[in-house]
Amino acid sequence: MPPRPTSPLLLLALSAVLAGCAQPQLTPPCLTPSCPTPPVSGNETEPNDNAAAANALAIDRPLKGRIAGQPRDMDLFKFDAEAGARLKLTVISVGADPQSTLDPYVEVLLPDGFTVLEHDDDSGAELDSELRFNVVTAGTYFVAVTSFRIHDDERAADDRATNTYQLALARR
Amino acid sequence: MRRPLGLAVLGLTALLTACGPGHNAPTPATGTGSKLPSSLAASNDRWFVELASDPGALTAQGLGAQQATFRAQATASGIDYAELASYHTLFNGFAVRASPAELGRLSRLPGVMGVYPVRQISPPRILNTTLNAQALSPDVMSALEMTGADIAQSQFGLSGKGIRVGIIDTGLDLGHPAFRDRVVAGYDFVGDSYDASKPGSVPVPDPSPDDCQGNGTNVAGVVGGHDPAGGFVGVAPAVSLGIYKVFGCQGTTDSATLLTAMERAQADGMQVLNISLGVPFQWPQYPTARAASRLVKRGMVVSAAAGDSGQAGPYSVGAPALGENVLAVASVENTRLQLGNFTLTPGGEVIGFKPVYPSPAAPVGLNLPVGKLPGSTPSTDNDGCSIDGLSPYTPGSLNGLATLIRLGNCPPRQKVLNAQDAGASAVVFYNYQPGFAAVGVGSVNPFDTAPIRIPVVSVRAEDGARMDTRIAAGVRLNVNAQPRTFDNPSGNTVSRFSALGASPDLELKPDVAAPGGNIRTTTLLKSNPGGYVVLSGTGLAAPQVAGIAALLLEARPGLTAHDVSTLLLNNAAPRLSLDSSLAPVQQQGAGLVNVPAAIGTPVTAIPAKLSLGASQTFGPRSKVIVLKNSSTTPQVFMATHVPAQSLDSTGNATQPQSATLSINGQNLGSGLSVTVPAGGETDLNMLFTPPRSPSQGQYGGYISLDSASGGRMVIPYNGFVGNYQALSVLNDVSFDGGRTFKNLPALYDPKTFEFYPEGLALATPPIYTLKKVEVFDDNGQKITVLDAPQLLIHFGHQARRLTLDVLNAGGTSLGTVFTQNYIGRSATDIYTDVSSDAFSFVGWDGTLANGQTVPAGTYQLRLNVLKALGNPDVATDTETYTSQKFLVN
């Protein structure tokens, strides 16, 4: 895909620098359910099983991932957010790949990498996860994606190679 | 180790007053241990053993192979255990019997994921038997009016027809006319003679779930009884019933059997499941709660009683009600009561009364002059109480009188016996606070065997005061034949017995409330030929919600189980406490369910409840609620913030210092107008700032969305005030009614039944042989015990994880020998008898993680307890205890 003129991460960094000044110019958020999904910008990179090894996740840059390759896989991502950001996180499985066997379960963690800020199992279509949340304190937050089965059962392996998903973070 | 704050303050007082002679020196003390009843340790021997994989991920063969492997390994390693049950669909594993010492080795077998105690479950408590005799008339059906189920039946024509509702309980009176031809599935998992509380009692299943205890028939009547001749209609009078019997005719069942029944209900295709049973003080991860939550994810609505432990403090909601997707149902008092009554003459006022048990019934036509202790008034606080051990009544002074006595200050039994001895022919108690008193006059002391020979009844405070003013001029009472309906003075308030949330992970529980106080329903024909009783308990509130779920599924067939929950929460009506404040969300969830509103609403609010966590963790917290409008016209609401009562750290309701709330950046003030477009959605961006008090307590309230047409939706929220990690877990236990506390955890010796409190210096360390030995129990019977160390642990709050390490003589850890996750809290910190549930046992059989038995020598046990929501990497989130040194020889 063609390079984007300004990366959202850079914008976020800018927004931190400019805190207290005018809001940076951002694409207006799409608020209807039929918003076009931006093209997938890449894949998760294993290992990303803990906060220290989290992959970067950017707004409007969806990533493809897989809960597989090892028993009890957990994929971690991180993103920077400014205070007051209104965000939406989605994890879709069969909607992105009809063959997917994943029932996703997602958490947003505070910058400590441990405390759960938000969690969701099935709020999206069918078994998909969807979280709408707002950021109160600026910082680096984490997203943990796994399967419902792994979340629900402390020893479930659930490492089927077909456990694919697509993760997207958007402004609301 | 530590006590709850209030008790710690008392302890401090004791220390501060310990200046004069005669007081014990503070610890560390040197001495010998204290003794426990020999039967106590033996009763802690049933456990769930969970194997590695989710049953849904394995084939039947794979599951069978995994379970067979476990059995072979357990046998090969020589572990002394007995398998009680095995599970296949909702849970992969077993229920077993093993001593706490053997459990460590069992839990370390390959493939074992966790162990959980199997708890005995008593049938739902019958909290009120006052109205049995008067329960024949149909006009106490106000519970249906309270939820609008009557309108759903009469205006919308709903009956639950074609909907399959399962009930796990004591079975159903299959001969009762209210259920004819509507039982489509059923099973008796235990047989009539089973009683889990009796050692050696073994389940003997049979196909017929005929009820011989009564509670299941009580529950089924609320869900869907229908008996036009008896004037009785339940919530969903045409549902098809699946009846799963898990009790014998007497005694208890256990959570292992409950799990088996849940698997069966799913296999039978039940759309709604009612479970009016539970284990209090638990976790959402307790096996029955997790299994119930999975049932919901697979499409079944599960309604479960929140529990009747409201007087036992916060975090008392039980499993399975705690399950994440399960509807935990609280109880609200019925608005009308049918009561026995008497007429005062002269004057003609009719006063409703409740009989007080145990005492003879007040016979119809009983006609007595009313008297009292001379000088007593409606403000006397010790009316009828003995003074210096002597009755306040002159002998013979009450001859032939119905004696009016104000409650308070001493046991009601003492007042009755004093009046009876002075010649009274009856006693009329009146309450010292609004409403009817919960009062009994049974003996609680085996040496107090005096019979109560006269009728005893209780009346409301205001009726007692009215009678008091009439005594001087002479007044008689005459007991009437016909019961009458009275407004319930506590009607429409949240029942005091209803259990308190939140869950230990601070999720809001219970979810909703339903009528559960003074509910008329079906009972066993053989116990009451009329077939009906009036009872109380969250066990009668849950089936209201199960029946209502059936009505919703009939009215809107496409609804998922999640949709049903959302609609019931969104459209509930928060209720008051007896003191006219909005009752805590931790006691009622979203409030009293409303059927017509849930059926008719075009708008949903998701999530339907908000859990804000601990204020120290999050500070101000933002939440997003999505309002979706399925209608073709825009819907306009006025959003307001309605704080509810807070709970202090011990569970007492207090007036709130409330959270503040803004929506979409605007303070609510007198309200904020919100429009949800036709066929569209709107986000509510909320910012909560938590209150600063009550410290270590819980706050909560509602976002209320009022429409111009008069409808109202609510979204409840809850949070914890302060640092949740400051709640202590390893607390102390009193063995003398709360006067003094033993420092627990304690090291226990199963061969002497003695325990050694934490910090007690021992002159000689206990010696354990790690062999089975024969000892004599308290009854002089010879029993065999494993001579291995155990610990007594009181859990003052639920704990996330317990690990037990063994230390050598030098204090170096030899590794972890036992781990347990998601530990429920103890019921009480005051031990009275073997049923108190004041502490648990954890044991060590002398083997290390490698299976080898340690050589003879000196050792210690160290316990690490990670707190609920605690971070294992933060030292202060874990509490630690180290036992005294002991010898293995």
| A132 vs B contacts (CB less than 8 Å) | 624, 626, 683
Task: Look at residues B118, B58, B111 and name the one whose alpha carbon lies nearest to residue B254.
Answer: B118
**Would you tell me the crossing angle of helices B538-555 and B561-570 to the nearest 10 degrees?**
110
| B297 vs A contacts (CB less than 8 Å) | 121-122, 148
Question: Which among B290, B620, B873 is the nearest to A152, CB-wise?
Answer: B290
| B627 vs A contacts (CB less than 8 Å) | none
Q: Which residue out of B286, B606, B622 would a mutagenesis test of the A interface target, given it has the greatest number of A Cβ atoms within 10 Å?
A: B622
Asked whether residue A98 is assigned to any structural domain, the reply reads yes
Helix, strand, coil shares of chain A as percentages rounded to 5?
10, 35, 55
| B607 vs A contacts (CB less than 8 Å) | 123
| B56 vs A contacts (CB less than 8 Å) | 149
Rounded CA separation B657/B472 (Å): 48
Question: Which among A112, A149, A154 is the nearest to B57, CB-wise?
Answer: A149
DSSP state of B383: T
User: A-B interface: how many C-beta pairs under 8 angstroms?
Assistant: 65
For residues B304 and B291, the answer to whether their CB atoms sit within 8 Å is no
Q: What is the pLDDT of residue A13?
A: 39
**Nearest chain B alpha carbon to A135:** B622
Looking at the complex, report in whole angstroms how far the Cα of residue B612 sits from the nearest Cα belonging to chain A.
9
- Residues whose CB falls within 8 Å of the CB of residue B823, separated by 6 or more in sequence, listed in order: B283, B795, B798, B799, B800, B801, B802, B840, B865
Cα dist. B831→B36, B722, B756 in Å?
Answer: 10, 30, 16
Looking at the complex, report in whole angstroms how far the Cα of residue B584 sits from the nearest Cα belonging to chain A.
24
For strands B240-245 and B164-169, give the pairing.
parallel
Two tokens at B91?
């849970």
Rounded CA separation B515/B488 (Å): 13
Q: Name the interface residues of B facing A (CB cutoff 8 Å).
A: 51-54, 56-57, 113-114, 290, 294, 297, 562, 606-607, 617-624, 626, 680-681, 683, 685, 687, 821, 871, 873
Question: Which among A115, A136, A153 is the nearest to B54, CB-wise?
Answer: A153
For residues B507 and B210, the answer to whether their CB atoms sit within 8 Å is no
B151's enclosing H/E stretch is helix B149-154
| A156 vs B contacts (CB less than 8 Å) | 52-54, 57
**Average model confidence (pLDDT) across chain A:** 82
Cα dist. B854→B110, B750, B814 in Å?
Answer: 21, 19, 10
Interchain proximity B53–A137, CB inside 8 Å: no
Helix, strand, coil shares of chain B as percentages rounded to 5?
20, 30, 50
| B687 vs A contacts (CB less than 8 Å) | 134, 136
Q: Is the pLDDT of residue A3 over 50?
A: no
Total residues belonging to chain B: 889
B786's enclosing H/E stretch is strand B782-786
Q: What is the pLDDT of residue B790?
A: 93
**Nearest chain A alpha carbon to B114:** A154
Q: Name the interface residues of A facing B (CB cutoff 8 Å).
A: 32-33, 86, 110, 112, 114-115, 117, 121-123, 132-137, 148-149, 152-158, 172
**Would you tell me the crossing angle of helices B561-570 and B287-297 to the nearest 10 degrees?**
100
Q: Which residue out of B109, B283, B624, B874 would a mutagenesis test of the A interface target, given it has the greatest number of A Cβ atoms within 10 Å?
A: B624
Q: Which CATH number fits the domain that encloses residue A95?
A: 2.60.120.380
Task: Look at residues B182, B189, B184 and name the one whose alpha carbon lies nearest to residue B168.
Answer: B189
* Cβ neighbours around B390 below 10 Å, total: 8
| B52 vs A contacts (CB less than 8 Å) | 155-157
Rounded CA separation B22/B24 (Å): 7
**Nearest chain A alpha carbon to B611:** A118
Task: Look at residues B677, B236, B373 and name the one whose alpha carbon lies nearest to residue A33.
Answer: B677
Asked whether residue A3 is assigned to any structural domain, the reply reads no
Interchain proximity A136–B113, CB inside 8 Å: no
Rounded CA separation B179/B577 (Å): 35
Interchain proximity A132–B626, CB inside 8 Å: yes
pLDDT single digits (tens) A18-53: 333 334 444 555 555 555 667 788 899 999 999 999
Q: What residues of chain B score a pLDDT lower than 70?
A: 1-30, 41-44, 53-58, 89-90, 119-141
Question: Which among B52, B114, B685 is the nearest to A86, CB-wise?
Answer: B685
Q: What is the pLDDT of residue B644?
A: 96
Q: What is the pTM of this model?
A: 0.83
Q: What is the pLDDT of residue B339?
A: 83
Asked whether residue A46 is assigned to any structural domain, the reply reads yes
Most distant CA pair in chain A: distance in Å? 50
Q: How many domains does chain A have?
A: 1
Rounded CA separation B575/B702 (Å): 12
Looking at the complex, report in whole angstroms how far the Cα of residue A151 sits from the nearest Cα belonging to chain B.
11
Name the phi and psi angles at B731, rounded to 5.
-100, 175
DSSP state of A43: E
Asked whether residue A4 is assigned to any structural domain, the reply reads no
For residues A80 and A150, the answer to whether their CB atoms sit within 8 Å is no
| B623 vs A contacts (CB less than 8 Å) | 133-134
Two tokens at B417?
């016996």
Asked whether residue A40 is assigned to any structural domain, the reply reads yes
Interchain proximity A155–B113, CB inside 8 Å: yes
Domain extent for A149: 29-171
Interchain proximity B57–A137, CB inside 8 Å: no
Task: Give the sign of the dihedral formed by CA B30, CA B36, CA B42, CA B46.
Answer: negative
Asked whether residue A155 is assigned to any structural domain, the reply reads yes
Rounded CA separation B204/B887 (Å): 44
DSSP strand E in B191-323: where?
226-227, 232-233, 240-245, 253-254, 272-275, 301-305
DSSP state of B177: G
**Nearest chain B alpha carbon to A158:** B57
Cα dist. B291→B8, B112, B272, B323, B561 in Å?
Answer: 38, 18, 14, 8, 15
Rounded CA separation B364/B386 (Å): 31
Name the phi and psi angles at A155, rounded to 5.
-125, 5
Question: Which among A123, A135, A155 is the nearest to B52, CB-wise?
Answer: A155
Asked whether residue A9 is assigned to any structural domain, the reply reads no
Looking at the complex, report in whole angstroms how far the Cα of residue A131 sits from the nearest Cα belonging to chain B.
9
Q: Which residue out of A149, A153, A172 would a mutagenesis test of the B interface target, given it has the greatest number of B Cβ atoms within 10 Å?
A: A153
Asked whether residue A108 is assigned to any structural domain, the reply reads yes
| B619 vs A contacts (CB less than 8 Å) | 136-137
Interchain proximity B871–A123, CB inside 8 Å: no
Rounded CA separation B567/B562 (Å): 9
> DSSP per residue over B20-47, as a string?
STTPPPPSSPB---EE--HHHHHT--EE
DSSP state of B236: S
Interchain proximity B619–A172, CB inside 8 Å: no
> DSSP per residue over B305-336, as a string?
E--S-GGG-SS-PPBTTTSTTSEEEEEEE-SE
Rounded CA separation A44/A62 (Å): 10
Looking at the complex, report in whole angstroms how far the Cα of residue A2 sits from the nearest Cα belonging to chain B.
34
B698's enclosing H/E stretch is strand B698-707
